Chains A and B, each alone.
Chain A
C-alpha cells in the first residue's frame, strides 16, 4: 500500500467527477423533457423514439457506473476501479456523440449540452490517465 504520509489522489479529477455527476443528472432530466417535446410536436416515428429513449437509459447506467468507479478509484488510490472508469469513458463518449450527431432530430439545445458532456469526457480521460501513471510509479517505489 501507499505510504501513509503521501496523498496521491487527484483533486482536479475529483472536482470533475463531482461536477459531471450533477451535470449528468440535469442532462438526463432535460433530455426526457426534450424527448417529450419532440414526440409531441415533430413527426417522430415511434420506433425511432423508443430507440432513443432506451439508449438514454443505457447511457444513464453507463454514466453512473463510470462516475462511481472513477470516484472510488481516485479516492482509494486503487488502479483497478480507475481502469474500469477509463474503459467506460469510451462508450460514454460514443453515446454523447450519438446524441450530438446521429439522433433523429438534434435540437440546438441538445447540441450544446452534448458538447459540454464531450468536454467532460475528454478532460476526465486525460486526468485519469495521469492519475493512473502516478499510482503505478508510486507502487513500484
Chain B
C-alpha cells in the first residue's frame, strides 16, 4: 500500500502537466490578413510575451505566387513604411503607417489615371522570439488617389445670388424642367410665341413669380376703376426692382401695410363660391356614403377591392377572386347616389346573365350545376359615366351575373370597366393618347380590307385552357405579355391539316395590316402615321413538307408567334414624354411535334398541342453621344484655370473681376478719375500752354 501512493501522485502530476500545456498557446495576429486601403492600419498580437520582436518586410510577388514566409527580415528594407509596436494589456498593438502621407498620392489632371491605384504592395509582419518565428501577418496594400481631398475648389462655380433681392426660386410656378409651364409667364423655358397664347391668363400674385406685392399705385398699373386727377403726377414710376419688399419670402416677417387713407381705391375681389361636388380630372368620385369604389389593379399587380374611381380616368381591370371567399358587402347599385354639382345622380342598372362558365371559372373539380344551392356571382360590371363641364350627368351600369353552386371551389375571373363619355364624343373612335401613346392603352391597328378597326390580341384562356374557349384581349402599349392556350388535335388529322389549323389560330391574334404610329392617328387616312406590319417567316402550310410521318411526328409546326414593337420617345409636350411606335414585326417559331398516345391509341382521344404568343416592346433611346475624354478644351483664357487672368487686368472696364460687385468697381473707378481730373485742373496746365505759345510767337 505504501508503494502505490507515490505512483498515483506521479500520475496525477503528469496528468496536471498535460492539462496545463495547451493553455499556453503560441502568439497569433488578429486579424491574420488585412486588406489595406488607407495609409494606416492596426493589428493585435495576442498571446505573446514581453520579449517578442516584430519586424516588417515588403514582399516581392512573382507571378502571383506567395513566397514561403521567412522570419527575421532586415529592418533596413522597410522602405517607406513605418512599424510601431505598443504594449497593451496581455497583447501588443502593431501599427503600420505609410511615411510619405497623402500628398505623394495625388491624382494627375487626366481622369484616366485616377482610376488606377497608386500603391500596390504586399507586406509581411513577423513576430519572432529568440530567432524562431511565432506568427505572421500578411497585409495587402491597395491605396487609391483620394480625389475629394486634393480638389479643394470645384471648377463649376455656381453663383448663388443674394437671397434678399433674388430668391433662389424666383419662379414658383416653374414646375417642369426644360418644359414650358402653361400660364407661368416667368418660366424661362417658354418661347415668346407660346407665351403669347396665355399671356392674358398668367398666374398672378406671389406664386406667379411676382414676389413683390401688387400695387395699384404704379403708373403702369392697369386700373379698372376711375383714377383721381392727380394720379398721373403722383403715381409711382420706379421699376419693381427697387421695391422695398424684394425677398418677400426671405424676410417673412415683413408684410405690406395697407393703412386706409383718403381716396384709397382697393380692388374688391368677388370670390365665386362653387359647389362642393365640382370634379377635376383625377378627383375621386363621391357618393352619399363616401367614395365610389370599384376593384382596380394596383401598381403591384394585385386587385384592390376598395379603390376609388377617378374622374375622367377610364380603366379596364381584370381581377381573379377565390370562389370560397364570400363576396364583399358591396352597395346595391340601385341604392347608390352619385354626388355631383346640382344634386345627386341615380344610376341606371341593367342586369344580364352570363353563359359559358367554362371561360370564367378555373376549378380543380368539375363545375357543379347550380340547381341545388344557387348563388349569384358578378362576372362583369361595366360603368359608363356621362359628364359635362365639371359634373356628372348620368351613370349607366351593366352587370353580368351568373348562377353557380354555393359549394363550388376554384377561382373566377371578373372584369370591371369604367368609361367616361362627354356629349361631344358621339361616334368617335377612342384615342390611345394624344398625340403619343399612353402606357396601358391598346395598340391601335387596322386591316386594309374594308378598313376595319382592330388591334393586336393575345389569348386569355379560362377553364381548361383550350383554344376554342379562350377569349382575346388587346395588346396594351408598353406592357410585355405572354400567353398561350391548348389546341386539341385529333388522331386522324394529318400534318398539313394541323399546320393550317394552328396558323388559323395564330392569325386570329394579328388580324391587322397596319399599326398606328401615334395614339391619335386617323383611321381613314393611311398616310397619317400608319406603319405596315412586317411579317417574318410565315411558313407555307405543308407545301414542301410531308403529309405525315410514320411515327406520327409533324415537323415545322408553327406554335409560337412573337410580336416585336419598336418604340421611341418623340419629343415632349408640357414635359410629358410622347412615345410612338416605329415598327412592328411578327415572327413565327416552329417545333417538331409528335402525337402522344397512352398505352393504346384510341380513335376518339385527342392530344393537346400548346400554342403561345408573346409581345415585346423594345425602346430605342434618343440620346446624344457623350463627349469622349479625348476632347480637350482650350483653357488658356479660362480665368478659373490660370493664375493670370488677362481680362481682369483691365479692371474696371471689363466684368471679369468678381472680387467686388460691379457697381462698386465702377464707383471706385469714377472716383479715381474725378480725383485725377481735379489734380490736373489745379495745376493750371493752360498757363504753360500760353507761355509756350507766346514764346513761339515771339520767336517768329
Contacts and interface: CB of A to CB of B under 8 A. Distances in A.
Interface of A: 34, 37, 40-45, 48, 83, 87, 90, 101-109, 111, 133, 136-137, 140
B236 A43 contact: no
Given A133-B686, A137-B686, A108 B258 contact: no
A43, A83, A107 — which one has the most chain B CB atoms within 10 A of its CB?
A43
Interface in B231-260: 232-238, 242-245, 254, 256-259
Interface residues of B, number: 29
A43 B254 CA distance: 11
Nearest to A47: B244
B234 A105 contact: no
Contacts of B271: none
A44 B678 contact: no
B684 A109 contact: no
Given A102-B242, A104-B244, A137-B686, A41 B233 contact: no
Interface in B250-282: 254, 256-259, 261, 264
By Cβ-Cβ distance, the 7 closest A-B pairs, closest first, are: A106-B238, A43-B256, A109-B233, A45-B244, A105-B236, A41-B261, A108-B237
B565 to A, nearest CB: 61
Nearest to A141: B690
Contact of A45 (B254, B259, B264): B254
A40 B686 contact: no
B298 interface: no
A78 B660 CA distance: 42
A133 to B, nearest CB: 7
B447 interface: no
A139 to B, nearest CB: 9
B686 A43 contact: no
B521 to A, nearest CB: 57
A136 B687 CA distance: 8
Contacts of B236: 42, 105-107
Given A103-B238, A106-B236, A42 B678 contact: no
Nearest to B236: A105
B445 to A, nearest CB: 64
A44 B452 CA distance: 72
Contacts of B242: 102-106
Contacts, number: 63
B674 interface: yes
A122 B8 CA distance: 129
B635 to A, nearest CB: 40
B252 to A, nearest CB: 14
Nearest to B264: A41
B401 interface: no
A83 B217 CA distance: 43
Nearest to A45: B244
B261 A109 contact: no
Given A34-B234, A106-B242, A108-B237, 11 more contacts: A37-B234, A43-B258, A44-B257, A104-B244, A105-B217, A105-B238, A105-B242, A106-B236, A107-B233, A108-B235, A136-B684
Given A102-B242, A136-B684, A40 B259 contact: yes
A45 B255 CA distance: 10
A107 B235 contact: yes
B451 interface: no
B219 interface: yes
B674 A90 contact: yes
B213 interface: yes
Contacts of A83: 682
A119 B234 CA distance: 22
21 contacts: A34-B234, A40-B261, A42-B215, A43-B215, A43-B256, A43-B257, A43-B258, A45-B244, A90-B674, A103-B238, A103-B242, A104-B238, A104-B242, A104-B244, A105-B217, A105-B242, A106-B236, A106-B238, A109-B233, A137-B686, A137-B690
Contacts of B682: 83
Nearest to B234: A107
A24 B236 CA distance: 22
A104 B236 CA distance: 10
A68 B552 CA distance: 127
A78 B338 CA distance: 97
Nearest to B218: A105
A66 to B, nearest CB: 16
A59 B237 CA distance: 22
A44 B235 CA distance: 14
B245 A43 contact: yes
Contact of B234 (A48, A103, A109): A109
Nearest to B255: A43
A68 B243 CA distance: 37
A78 to B, nearest CB: 15
A101 B241 CA distance: 11
B235 A48 contact: no
B174 to A, nearest CB: 27
A136 B686 CA distance: 9
B674 A43 contact: no
